[in-house]
Chain A
């Protein structure tokens, strides 16, 4: 079945440091989405990537979709305490929508 792995599972950074999470799918994805879940909250949509090799930016966040459409990354520049949470990639396969294993980010002030 569909597997979407993310690394690392946990990341602790000092405030101001950069952070990157990587997402790898066992199958080619038509599109990939990224979500953020704050502690105690629910996943909230951040962005969607559709094209091979696509790069999108949202302020300090940079999202990339791999050329083969099987991997993606999220990079945060100069982390802030408000970036704390778990970041998930997700994508459709068939009629199902699978989430990656998630990366939990802790930002130390």
Chain B
């Protein structure tokens, strides 16, 4: 039974398009995250969200927006895709914001913008 699942696994699209990546966790965690991993393997936090608060990393363009229909889901919507958005995007969840519990990651979505 998958703990953190994200879809799609691969996403190839053209510049200027709008796309969404879905994420669901069945661990009952209170915090979910989106990370971007570039070609150098750097894992950069984009958002963290619990049922009370959305924390946005200030370097994330406002073309990126998280949407959470409920505490088990945190989807990522991207407007006007650019070449530099090509990366692997990971969803993750934890209990308590990672302070005393580990993050559980999804398998990632490889986004390629052409």
Measured CB to CB, the residues of A under 8 A from B are 1, 30-31, 33, 35, 37, 41-45, 48, 50, 86, 88, 90, 92, 94-99, 101-102, 104
Contacts and interface: CB of A to CB of B under 8 A. Distances in A.
| Interface secondary structure of A, over-half rule | strand
Contacts of A42: 90, 105-108
Contact of B103 (A31, A50, A90): A90
B41 A86 contact: yes
B25 to A, nearest CB: 13
Given A99-B45, A101-B42, A102-B42, A92 B107 contact: no
B102 A45 contact: yes
B103 A102 contact: no
Nearest to A43: B105
Contact of A95 (B42, B53, B105): B53
8 contacts: A35-B103, A37-B41, A43-B43, A92-B98, A94-B55, A95-B48, A97-B94, A101-B42
B41 A102 contact: yes
Nearest to B47: A96
Contacts of A98: 45
A28 to B, nearest CB: 13
A43 B97 CA distance: 17
A90 B44 CA distance: 11
Nearest to B35: A99
Residue among A31, A98, A99, A104 with the highest chain B CB neighbour number at 10 A = A99
A95 B103 CA distance: 14
